Amino acid sequence: MAITSVGIVGAGQMGNGIAHVFALAGFDVLMTDISQDALAKTVRLVDQNLDRQVSRGKITDEDRKAALGRIRTTPKLTDLGRCDLIIEAATERESVKQAIFDELLPHLRPETILTSNTSSISITRLASRTDRPEKFMGFHFMNPVPVMQLVELIRGIATDDATYQTLLKVVDKLGKTAASAEDFPAFIVNRILMPMINEAVYTLYEGVGNVTSIDESLKLGANHPMGPLELADFIGLDTCLAIMNVLHEGLADTKYRPCPLLTKYVEAGWLGRKTRRGFYDYRGAKPVPTR
């Protein structure tokens, strides 16, 4: 099946980046979000990021204008029913994703492919509660989407080969690289990355280092582009905690227990960059470590 139109549910940082790369690659994009505020901001943010690519000579101003012209928004989830491909990129909570699929399913055409950008949740379980487990897949983009080359493709137990092949072609059209992961908690990237971030929070919790020394150590000592705490703030501490909980519950191994300090930051509503406070405080001119 040829995909020309894409419906994106969730206009947060991931939905925004996904809309950006699909529109630039020539797909028609329709976005929705329960937050009208997020929806209102999203096209402006895509424009800013496209503009950044124009100023760095990556794309032309014509490309920017054409991409923007392909993005539309709607407050009504059910309007996405006419799209060829759905990418759910709402908050990392199974009940949220479930409710979205329940509402959307009666409005989809039978051939529509349904995907989730989930970072960790079982694709087989999400798929099993839909009317099309064979046309359901994990479609996991990395943040920031316009920059990161990888897309993880996760087949549930029932996903058919035609769906997988269609998504491989879509990834190719986006100019990105696909990696296939089996459907186990947090797949490949987050199975490895998130325990490292959680360990960095334990290192902070136990006083082995402070925010600055931990981040500097990994940046200068292991050549990571961002320190683990800076990266956690970038991803969102709520998302990091949700992924650790899926690993902990799904693999039933205490080595994945989320650090109590990570839980405390999330309970405080200090979710990182998106709330302007996390391991760093972003409310001033420069980020200031909170510990």
Ligand X SMILES: CC(=O)CC(=O)SCCNC(=O)CCNC(=O)[C@H](O)C(C)(C)COP(=O)(O)OP(=O)(O)OC[C@H]1O[C@@H](n2cnc3c(N)ncnc32)[C@H](O)[C@@H]1OP(=O)(O)O
> Which residues 34-53 are close enough to bind ligand NDP by CB under 6 A?
34-35, 38
Determine the Cα–Cα distance for residues 152 and 154; give it in Å rounded to an integer.
6
> Which residues 224-243 are close enough to bind ligand X by CB under 6 A?
225-226, 231, 235, 239
Q: Considering CB under 6 A, how many residues would be counted as binding ligand NDP?
A: 29
Would residue 190 show up in a list of annotated catalytic residues for this protein?
A: yes
12 binds, options ligand NDP, ligand X, none, Cβ within 5 to 8 A by partner type: ligand NDP
Does residue 89 interact with ligand NDP by CB under 6 A? yes
> Which residues 80-119 are close enough to bind ligand X by CB under 6 A?
119
Strand partners, 288: 281
CA angle 283/288/291 to nearest 5° reads 125
Does residue 53 interact with ligand X by CB under 6 A? yes
Catalytic residue among 88, 92, 152, 230: 152
Does residue 81 interact with ligand NDP by CB under 6 A? no
- Phi (first) and psi of residue 3, to 5 degrees: -95, 125
Does residue 148 interact with ligand X by CB under 6 A? yes
Catalytic residue among 92, 117, 120, 140: 140
186 φψ region: left (φ > 0), alpha (ψ -120 to 50), beta (else): left
Contacts of 55 (CB under 8 A, 6+ apart): none
Would residue 119 show up in a list of annotated catalytic residues for this protein?
A: yes
Query: Least distance to ligand NDP from the beta carbon of 178, Å?
Result: 15
Would residue 140 show up in a list of annotated catalytic residues for this protein?
A: yes
Tokens at 141, concatenated: 């983009």
Stretch that binds ligand X, among 78-86, 141-149, 163-171, 279-287 (CB under 6 A): 141-149
CB of 269 closer than 8 Å to CB of 275: yes
Residues in the chain: 291
Q: Considering CB under 6 A, how many residues would be counted as binding ligand X?
A: 20
Stretch that binds ligand NDP, among 53-61, 106-114, 139-147, 213-221 (CB under 6 A): 139-147
User: Tokens 């950008």 appear where?
Assistant: 117
Catalytic residue among 119, 120, 122, 198: 119
Q: CB count, 10 Å around CB of 289?
A: 16
74 alpha carbon, distance to own chain's centre: 20
Tokens at 143, concatenated: 């943040």
Determine the Cα–Cα distance for residues 152 and 133; give it in Å rounded to an integer.
18
Q: Which residues are tagged catalytic?
A: 119, 140, 152, 190
Interface residues toward ligand X, by CB under 6 A: 49, 52-53, 56, 58, 119, 142-144, 146-148, 189-190, 193, 225-226, 231, 235, 239
